[in-house]
Amino acid sequence: MFVTDLLSQDDKVSDLFEELVEAHAESLIQVAYSYVKNKQMAEDIVQDVFIKAFEKQSQFRGDSSYKTYLYKMTINRSYDYLRSWSYRNHLLTNKFSNLFGVQKSVDDFVVLEDERAVIGNEVLKLAPKYREVIILFYFKELKVEEIANILDCSMNTVKTRLSRARNMLKERLGGKLDE
């Protein structure tokens, strides 16, 4: 059941909510995926974010854009999932499966051939604090100030993380990364 099914009683609210989902769902799923690296879980996280955003719409203070608010909720929910027992249990199960020769998931066997996919793969290998600034800056095209608001840190911290992440990517890609 999709979230908008829950709102069928009030068509006006439902239409507004559906517009919000259509405008932001894809980019939020991409952000969540960059953390959890599982498409189904990323979709679940974003659905939870939309439900919470709808339930707590009165708590939105307007200090930033609603898009920034949704990004921040998605990142926080992704971190919650990464700290959860179900995620740790999933990792442990995969390690045991690999130990005993059970095949990995299809996602693990995808061969990345074009340059953009290789860069994306290397970005996903970065530590979360570096990965998130790269994704938000380059892929989501947010400004440093917006990223600082989302991550609850200073603009200088964002700039430092961006610089370090770029350097790590340059090193990993053998200097082939264009600025």
pLDDT tens-digit profile of 163-176?
999 999 888 887 55
Burial class (CB in 10 A: 0-12, 13-18, 19+), 165: buried
pLDDT tens-digit profile of 31-45?
999 888 888 889 999
Q: What pLDDT is recorded for position 3?
A: 46
pLDDT tens-digit profile of 64-111?
788 888 999 999 999 888 887 665 555 555 554 554 454 444 444 443
Residues 6+ apart with CB under 8 A from 25: 46, 50
In the chain, what is the straight-line distance between the N-terminal and C-terminal CA atoms, in Å? 43
The separation between CA 106 and the C-alpha centre of its own chain, rounded to angstroms, equals: 21
CA dist list (Å): 122 to 38, 40, 44, 95, 144: 16, 21, 25, 21, 22
What is the rounded average pLDDT of the residues 126-137? 90
Beta carbons of 35 and 41 less than 8 angstroms apart: no
pLDDT class for 26, splitting at 50, 70, 90? very high
